[in-house]
Structure 1
Amino acid sequence: MIRSKLSDLRLDCLTVRYNGTDVVSDVSLNLTAGPLVGIIGPNGAGKTTLMRAIAGLVRIESGEVYMGGEPVSKLTSTLRAVSLGYLAQDRSVIWPLTVERLVALGRLPHLGPWDAPDIVDAEIVERALADANVAHIARRAVTTLSGGELTRVLIARLLAGKPSILLADEPVSGLDPAHRLRVLQTFRSLAQAGRTVIVSMHDLTLAARFCDRLVLMAEGRIAADGSPRQVLTPEILSRFYGVSARISEHNNELMVLPWDLARN
């Protein structure tokens, strides 16, 4: 496994505040290349805000994000753009570009102000289109795509950037079952190849199957952190999700099916 020195990510007592209320409160995490990390939790738990804070898209009230041991605030914008890629939960795109051209935008951080994309960039874009299974629609305008197709195109753009750290906020939301599996297999392969990959998810069975580590957030704080078997217990699901779940195994892999509302 080849790991970039900037692939290690550390959050130190991170707090984000909106209108006087802490939506992420005193979160500390060490995130390294290798394991696929899933951020889970009920709606309003702070998952998206945490990812946006890591990506530098919201103001941090206190604490610090470190990349490769260096405060992110001290890194150049170019180094940050090359090292960290972010798939936002908002998938809206208003530019009338072709799929191929939109995916090629992922290469921009790697180009100088007067550089044009070369054959290497073209090959990377071609591979990203294939990995996200959108090569067959490369000539279509992104404004004509379905929601699921657009999600896959934006994932391809994320892959085209080849960042050492990938943040994906609900990357399988709106995808059909086959593409959910394909996307998560791709992210797991990237993690195993030496990238730091963090995904937020609501599908607990997919989280249990593909993620090596789960971080459960509730009310802006970390409520549980560990392997899927450590985090996805009946007690934790009842307490933080308010559900009772059927938990079983298939081929030695955990299956979690929320079945009913928890009884107080």
Structure 2
Amino acid sequence: GTQAQSSKLLQKMSRKFWTPLYTTLRRTLPSKHPYLPANSAFKFPSPTYFLSPPSPSSSPNSPFSSGYDFYSLQNPKFPVRIFCFSTGAEEQSSARCWSCGAVAIAAPFLVCETCRSVQPMDHSLDYFQIFGLEKKYDIEVQNLEGKYKDWQKKLHPDLVHSKSPRERGYAAEQSARVIDAYRTLSKPLLRAIYILRLEGVDVDEEETLTDPELLSEILEIREAVEEAADPLALNEIKSQMNEKLNHWSNSFTTAFRCRKFEEAVNSIRRMTYYERVTEEIVKKL
């Protein structure tokens, strides 16, 4: 009778208070994490499993952000410890300023809002997070530029020349990373390569061209560039390259949204060659 009552109580708690295991993992872990089931439709039955709150005995120095005790109602005496890694944003929500000890008000925590001290670099932040942008390819470059200028007003090494060597070092690192992030995200080709890398897809920009149609096209374009007699002819070819770059940039946007990464890589290869032709034209102008 007691065991039956316990089971009913646990079922009630599971339905009312605790998050199903699969839902928690989906929210916490990357979409392709090896511990997640391959079938996204898979769900643990709520009446059978529940998660307890994080244990207060968890080590603060543990590489895991929190632990959940995972119980089976068929055998509630033996919990299995489930750990979830935290994201950079979650870690920053409890970050404290190294100088004044104030808790971070907002992420990303590059500068303390209380004492204005530049903070140590957090490598878990990606370039989109640095500028508070959604991780997508089609961004507003003007918005990016505004956020970049705002960070430079706070992080430029010249602004902390009278501060401690420690903070000057932080400012130099943060400023350099913000510059690199801006340069990457402001250029469509570099942004495409970077956002694919965040998805675990590396693009070999130096891969030998094997598409005969594209190879023939590129050879014809380069021949036209070499034979161009004046800047007017070069600018005409440059205009054509810009049209091709826009076309394949749009193709990348569609492929990335649909998570068709092979098509996305193909778009990047096209953009790479047209970008190189454009650079050759600029050198001749």
Say which structure is richer in strand. 1
Q: TM-score, normalised by structure 2?
A: 0.25
The structure number with the bigger radius of gyration is: 2
Say which structure is richer in helix. 2
Q: TM-score, normalised by structure 1?
A: 0.27
User: Which structure is richer in relative contact order (CA contacts within 8 A, separation 6 or more)?
Assistant: 1
